[in-house]
Amino acid sequence: MPTPAPSVPRLTSLTHGGGCGCKIAPAVLAQLLHAVPTKAIAPLLVGTETGDDAAVYQLNDSQAIIATTDFFMPIVDDPFDFGRIAAANALSDVYAMGGQPILALAIVGMPVNVLPVSVIGDILRGGESICREAGITVAGGHSIDSAEPIYGLAVLGVVHPQRLKRNCDARAGDVLVLGKPLGVGVLSAALKRGRLEPRAYRTLVEVTTQLNRAGAALAAITGVHAMTDVTGFGLLGHLLGICRGSGVAAELAMANIPLLDEVLGLAAEGVVTGASGRNWAAYGQKVRLAPELTAAQQALLCDPQTSGGLLVSCAREALTEVMQTFARHGAARAVRIGAVVAGEPGVSVTP
């Protein structure tokens, strides 16, 4: 009698976390960076000073290199989808700096005695498919045998130094635009608990594999002052990064913040990630929430986004062009969510 083939475990069953929810908590990360101070060499335009999305090194008057790396454990069980999501997330850091990706290297850590070679191959093929969509090649990489499956990319990009967008140049009077709805972390938590409907799963994959390719075009708009992407620290965490770096405050209206379908109800039932609580513990003292806002809304404001949308701070007169640029690049759900104001760095949220 033939021996039955071993079953392949769900990818998310092999991990303690998934997607950008795997990030080290903001407070711990701050301690780690403080313990390892760095001194920038002159051509380094962007280092670790403000926790920006990528490092940027100027080559000459018209060229700068963007360098970033991003990897995590599975947020979904389908290996091809996992590869696509991880690649889109890594590429986003280049777009968030206003650049164009030119090359990627794969970062692969897999439990090779647990996952079949075919499953690992599907992950790699998923990542390659997104890179091909972005017009670049996965030109190599590095792999190890690890206890949990890990996949991501190191990405290089290029940008004109005068079009480089940082997270520290917002100005009082700017408006804030968010390129994608929130709620990816909640949907991933629902998937891990077996509560995600097929339609919601399709939404999860669709939003996380949508490239933030609008970034380079947005960088060409004179009125765009600052830009970042919303990932593991949630909307509030990344907006606070803009506020601290720029020496300004921000005001948001909860009614204007786009949410994925069903996530508010799921969050109200306690379907949230542990990362949202860690995020709030790290920076909640810098946030003023209106008393009418619920615990579920607070969780969504801190919800870790995997391959989240671009967050743009732009002059009011540039808003129409910014919205049109998002729409031309497939981000039709981009919306204005608030404003930048003078004041001590912090965020206030009204209903």
Would residue 302 count as lying in a domain?
Answer: yes
- Stretch 92-108: mean pLDDT: 98
What confidence category does residue 262 fall into, taking pLDDT thresholds of 50, 70 and 90? very high
Q: Is the dihedral of CA 43, 70, 231, 275 positive or negative?
A: negative
pLDDT value at residue 5: 43
Q: Are residues 123 and 180 in the same domain?
A: no
Q: Are residues 272 and 141 in the same domain?
A: no
Amino acid, single-letter form, for residue 210? Q
Distance CA 286, CA 171 (A): 19
Distance CA 50, CA 159 (A): 19
Q: Are residues 134 and 54 in the same domain?
A: yes
What confidence category does residue 39 fall into, taking pLDDT thresholds of 50, 70 and 90? low
Q: How many domains does the chain have?
A: 2
Percent with pLDDT over 90 in the chain = 85
Instruction: Report residue 302 as tokens.
Output: 């801190």
pLDDT, tens digit (0-9, with 9 covering 90-100), for 265-278 = 999 999 999 999 99
pLDDT value at residue 83: 98
Report yes or no: 248 and 343 within 8 Å, Cβ to Cβ.
Answer: yes
Instruction: Report residue 177 as tokens.
Output: 């635009």
Q: Are residues 157 and 197 in the same domain?
A: no
Q: Are residues 80 and 65 in the same domain?
A: yes
Report yes or no: 281 and 236 within 8 Å, Cβ to Cβ.
Answer: no
Does the annotation mark 20 as catalytic? yes
Task: Give 216's contacts (C-beta < 8 A, 6+ positions apart).
Answer: 95, 98, 99, 100, 159, 163
Q: Are residues 170 and 310 in the same domain?
A: yes
Q: For 104, phi and psi rounded to 5 degrees? A: -135, 150
Catalytic residue among 20, 22, 168, 243: 20
Q: Which of 137, 162, 187 is the last residue of a domain?
A: 162
Domain that holds residue 87: 11-162
pLDDT, tens digit (0-9, with 9 covering 90-100), for 120-149 = 999 999 999 999 999 999 999 999 999 999
User: What is 180-239 written as a DSSP string?
Assistant: S-B-HHHHHHHHHTT---HHHHHHHHHHHSS--THHHHHHTSTTEEEEEE--TTHHHHHH
What confidence category does residue 4 fall into, taking pLDDT thresholds of 50, 70 and 90? very low
Short-list 97, 99, 337, CA closest to 235: 337
Would residue 179 count as lying in a domain?
Answer: yes
Would residue 173 count as lying in a domain?
Answer: yes
Distance CA 210, CA 178 (A): 14
pTM, entire model: 0.92
pLDDT value at residue 18: 67
Would residue 35 count as lying in a domain?
Answer: yes
Q: Are residues 64 and 192 in the same domain?
A: no
3-state secondary structure of 350: strand
pLDDT surpasses 50 at 2 = no
Q: Are residues 116 and 50 in the same domain?
A: yes
Q: Which of 102, 133, 162 is the last residue of a domain?
A: 162
Report yes or no: 236 and 301 within 8 Å, Cβ to Cβ.
Answer: yes
Distance CA 9, CA 304 (A): 25
Q: Are residues 206 and 237 in the same domain?
A: yes
What number of other Cβ atoms are within 10 A of residue 141's Cβ?
16
Would residue 3 count as lying in a domain?
Answer: no
Q: Which of 130, 162, 194 is the last residue of a domain?
A: 162
What confidence category does residue 258 fall into, taking pLDDT thresholds of 50, 70 and 90? very high
Q: Are residues 90 and 52 in the same domain?
A: yes
Q: Which of 190-194, 253-257, 306-310 has the least mean pLDDT?
A: 190-194
The CATH number assigned to the domain holding 99 equals 3.30.1330.10
pLDDT value at residue 1: 35
Q: Are residues 127 and 212 in the same domain?
A: no
Q: Which of 91-95, 137-141, 330-334 has the least mean pLDDT?
A: 330-334
Q: Which of 21-25, 51-55, 260-264 has the least mean pLDDT?
A: 21-25
Q: Could you identify the residue written with the tokens 């080290």?
A: 24
What number of other Cβ atoms are within 10 A of residue 39's Cβ?
6
Would residue 50 count as lying in a domain?
Answer: yes
What number of other Cβ atoms are within 10 A of residue 93's Cβ?
27
Would residue 197 count as lying in a domain?
Answer: yes
pLDDT value at residue 34: 60
Would residue 294 count as lying in a domain?
Answer: yes
Q: Are residues 341 and 194 in the same domain?
A: yes
pLDDT value at residue 3: 37
The CATH number assigned to the domain holding 181 equals 3.90.650.10
Q: For 182, phi and psi rounded to 5 degrees? A: -90, 160
Distance CA 96, CA 214 (A): 9
- Stretch 297-311: mean pLDDT: 97
Mean of the per-residue pLDDT values of the chain: 93
pLDDT, tens digit (0-9, with 9 covering 90-100), for 74-88 = 999 999 999 999 999
pLDDT value at residue 15: 76
- Stretch 61-82: mean pLDDT: 96
- Stretch 238-257: mean pLDDT: 97
